[in-house]
Amino acid sequence: MPRMKSKDQDYNLLSCHPMTLRNKTLHSQSLLEKKQIINHIENLSNEIFYEIFDYLDGCDIYHSFSNLNIRFQDLITHSTFYLKVQFSSESQSNLTIKDQSIIFKHISTFQFVDLHFYLKTLPRLSSLQIFFDSCEDDIGDIYQLIFQLPFLKYLRVEIDDFEVSDLTLPMAAIEQYTSIEFFISFHYLTLNQFFHLLSYTPRLTHLYCFNILDFELTNSTEIFPKLNNLVLFNFCTYDLSCDLCQSLFSKLPLQLKILSVTVSDRDISYLDANRWEELIRKNMPNLERFTLCLQEKMDERFQITDYHKTIPNYFLPFWMEKQWIFRIVVDDDEIDYSIFPHSQKFYDFEEHLSYDRNSCPGVNLNIINLNKNQVYINRLKSLFKTINVTRLVIRCSIDSMKAFMKIFKLLPNLMMLRVTVLKHPYEFLDVENDM
């Protein structure tokens, strides 16, 4: 009697049928292909990922993709694609990464500390600009983080609200030297803090430092680090003595080509033409451009000193040959003394008159706001007795025209004059008739 087939046997026979095997194979291949598609999403083109990234925050992109594989690391760090980071609706801060450059705007030091980890992963980062809204941390700690970036060449740091005491930074050891060549520091520093900061940047070629203060009881330029490659130095100070400042400048390298000095202080010895000439001749033989800006209040303490009497020396051959021009700007009760290259003109008389500057050496005087007070005019009179004004640019209103005429009579050697009257010409004629 024939043996009956079990259901299991029927199933096994069915499974071995050629058509069944083919269907199973096709089904398996389909599943495998789907799995491969899922596993190889990174095979999408860069352009598609750029489209996706454009909708995402830069930090989220970094967190999600930078550690997947080398392809995504290169996609983020070595491309020309921008990473945009929005920190908060209040600060409106953003980070822009383009090729080798990063700019932080309206960022706090706390936010920068969080982002520093990602900066270290950018092998081509050579330029960093940071504009801090405030400084909640010791800015010395921030600089320590910045100095860990190995390929940085350009650094700019600005802080809107910063206390001088919030920078603690030891002198750098040799292994802490950075590759920075271009440095802009725009926040308050004492002179010693400034020296400690520069000890990390021996390769500097261009240095801009603003708001250098002298709050410490003792200062010494002996710790000023050697900057053998420096060719440009822009220096701004508020209360640093001229003696200390020129001691600092005497340590600058001989190849320095550009020096710019801005002083907001009552130390009028900065005006001494003889000291500047001696310093430049001795320590800066290759200097090509020299700019000096010095402010003085014309208040009750204003008086003519021996330093004011050196102003005529700015028209001796040393200065004339270099075409460094001396100028005075009077704005109400403030006097600005400045030296600047001939290429920077306070008023281009050359466009209107043909003359040889060397044939009429003298002070360029610019009066922006003319004070009618007689005490004010008397103070100007005492200054005019010590200098030779040959070119005058003045703005005055109708009611100050009498004061203008008094000043005009104090300038017997005036050769060029430009007057801007702030009212209608016929009113000027009325005043002239009254006079």
For the stretch 31-72, pLDDT in tens is 445 445 445 666 777 777 777 777 776 666 766 776 677 777
For residues 69-94, give the mean pLDDT: 57
Q: Which of 171-175, 193-197, 201-205, 376-380 has the highest mean pLDDT?
A: 201-205
pLDDT of residue 268: 93
Query: Three-class SS of residue 352?
Result: coil
Asked if residues 254 and 283 have their Cβ atoms less than 8 Å apart, the reply is yes
For residues 20-24, give the mean pLDDT: 49
- The answer to whether residue 22 scores a pLDDT higher than 70 is no
Tens digits of residue pLDDT in 335-351:
999 999 876 554 545 44
For residues 246-251, give the mean pLDDT: 92
In a domain, 289, yes or no: yes
Asked if residues 338 and 291 have their Cβ atoms less than 8 Å apart, the reply is yes
In a domain, 82, yes or no: yes
Round the average pLDDT of the chain to a whole number and report it.
79
pLDDT of residue 42: 64
In a domain, 38, yes or no: no
Beta strands per DSSP E along 145-192:
154-159, 182-190
- The answer to whether residue 394 scores a pLDDT higher than 80 is yes
pLDDT of residue 216: 58
For residues 106-121, give the mean pLDDT: 83
Question: What is the span of the domain harbouring residue 210?
Answer: 45-334
pLDDT of residue 435: 45
Of 298 and 19, more confident:
298
Rounded-to-integer distance, Cα 332 and Cα 372, Å? 10
Side-chain-facing half-sphere of 406: CA atoms under 13 Å? 17
In a domain, 376, yes or no: no
pLDDT of residue 97: 58
Beta strands per DSSP E along 199-250:
206-213, 232-237
Total domains, the chain: 1
Window from 15-29, 53-67, 421-435 with minimum mean pLDDT = 15-29
In a domain, 426, yes or no: no
Of 385 and 53, more confident:
385
CA distances from 255 to 229, 244, 299, 318 (A): 8, 21, 41, 19
Window from 54-63, 232-241, 320-329 with minimum mean pLDDT = 54-63
What percentage of residues in the chain have a pLDDT greater than 90? 40
- End-to-end, the C-alpha distance of the chain in Å comes to 149
pLDDT of residue 200: 96
pTM over 0.95: no
- The answer to whether residue 430 scores a pLDDT higher than 90 is no
pLDDT of residue 351: 46
In a domain, 359, yes or no: no
In a domain, 418, yes or no: no
pLDDT of residue 18: 46
pLDDT of residue 407: 92
Q: Which of 20-24, 62-66, 249-253 has the highest mean pLDDT?
A: 249-253
Side-chain-facing half-sphere of 338: CA atoms under 13 Å? 20
For residues 101-110, give the mean pLDDT: 86
In a domain, 199, yes or no: yes
pLDDT of residue 356: 56
Window from 39-53, 205-219, 376-390 with minimum mean pLDDT = 39-53
pLDDT band for position 92 (cuts 50, 70, 90): very low
Hey, what amino acid is at 194? F
Of 98 and 65, more confident:
65
Of 290 and 212, more confident:
290
For residues 390-407, give the mean pLDDT: 88
CATH code of the domain containing 96: 3.80.10
- The answer to whether residue 370 scores a pLDDT higher than 90 is no
pLDDT of residue 89: 40
pLDDT of residue 423: 65
Asked if residues 153 and 127 have their Cβ atoms less than 8 Å apart, the reply is yes
Tens digits of residue pLDDT in 265-312:
778 999 999 999 999 999 999 999 999 999 999 888 899 999 999 999
